[in-house]
Chains A and B, each alone.
Chain A
């Protein structure tokens, strides 16, 4: 439970680790696109992190090939290439599944799914899972939580930005500049969750 809450608030991928900021800034111009992308990130993150955890712990970690008589084989250096392949494959499968079974959702998310492959929040989530040595159960929680956290940040940011459009901003800060400042303020607010634990 602590992992889930920490992933949503204190360790928020977008606001504390700066992951997925490029996409974050690009899609947050409109509220509804932000909601669409947020939902896709939750789904993809909840699927890819556990799958990557299983692949890492089952195939790549040192000693994983002991059963085949190769106890010294350490394939951990392959993790980056393996993870990015898994992410691309899962996004593709998800796209086809949605298209076949939930066409309405597919049309809503359609253009965002390919974007997710190059979203660093997804790869970052998997790499953090390795670095913190989460087991399979923990990685499920971490995946779901970090997805929700990212979605929360992007939706809140898009809502702020929709209002910001009507305010009088200095020319040089128009657009990107003000987006950064607002993200900074949000990140400040989220860091207040830092020490929070369950009562």
Chain B
């Protein structure tokens, strides 16, 4: 059962994006449409799960002084494989994702989970933990992607859901939703919503009890 807990905890309660502040960089950039968001989620979840399993499997053989280099090498090899795979089978999507597949290497979730969990746990829990974090990341990405694509273009996965004014319908697309700032706003409001429901996540105000630095880079 504890394996299942590793899988479900990161979904909302310990969500990598809204609580652990990991992997935000790519989360915002690829969410202008659901297709790119879903591709990115799949790519990240695969890389995360595989790298956590591999690192956890060889954790006793890595000297701790060079573990970061070993981890980064493993992760970048996996990312290269994914990148080549996308270019071969989904070229147009890989063009739209531009550099962000490559940036999975420096995505803090991958290195963060490897460092925080995989190096001191056996492969199976590590894989579950990684999968859970990947799914938690995907959940946020898909929510943001749905909001941005629907309000920004009136489509979902590229199929028209409501008819826009340009095509004679009533729906006026919100141009702002396709631009960078809207992603920040949506995630900010999402964090607000989550913390209203799960109040234990609320950060204490800084000026009353001094600095609270739970944040990780």
Contact = CB atoms under 8 A, between A and B. Distances in A.
B211 A29 contact: yes
A184 interface: yes
Contact of A124 (B21, B103, B216): B103
B91 interface: no
User: What secondary structure prevails in chain B residues at the interface with A?
Assistant: helix
Interface residues of B, number: 57
B64 to A, nearest CB: 15
A27 interface: yes
Contact of A118 (B192, B203, B217): B217
Contacts of A173: 188, 191-192, 195
A187 B217 contact: no
A20 interface: yes
Interface string A105-143: 000000000010011101110011001000000000000
A57 interface: no
B24 A177 contact: no
Nearest to A25: B21
Given A22-B217, A88-B72, A187-B181, A131 B99 contact: yes
Given A84-B105, A171-B202, A22 B25 contact: yes
Interface in A64-106: 77-81, 84, 88
B92 interface: no
Contact of A26 (B102, B205, B216): B216
Contacts of A169: 205
Given A123-B103, A191-B179, A22 B24 contact: yes
Interface in B82-134: 83-84, 98-99, 102-103, 105-108, 111
B72 A184 contact: no
Interface stretch (A1-9, A10-18, A41-49): A10-18
A172 to B, nearest CB: 4
A21 B27 CA distance: 10
Contact of B213 (A17, A29, A81, A181): A29
Nearest to A87: B106
Contact of B181 (A22, A78, A191): A191
A175 to B, nearest CB: 3
B180 A187 contact: yes
Nearest to A37: B217
A172 B191 contact: yes
Interface in B182-197: 182-185, 187-189, 191-196
Nearest to A168: B205
Interface string A126-166: 01100100000000000000000000000000000000011
A163 to B, nearest CB: 11
A173 B205 CA distance: 10
Contacts of A78: 80
B29 interface: yes
A78 B98 CA distance: 16
Contacts of A180: 184-185, 187-188, 191
A176 B106 contact: no
Contact of B103 (A77, A120, A183): A120
A148 B77 CA distance: 31
A71 B189 CA distance: 53
B172 interface: no
A170 interface: yes
The 4 A-B residue pairs whose C-beta atoms are closest, nearest first, are A184-B184, A180-B188, A175-B203, A172-B195
Interface of A: 15-23, 25-27, 29, 77-81, 84, 88, 115, 118-120, 122-124, 127-128, 131, 165-166, 169-181, 183-185, 187-188, 191
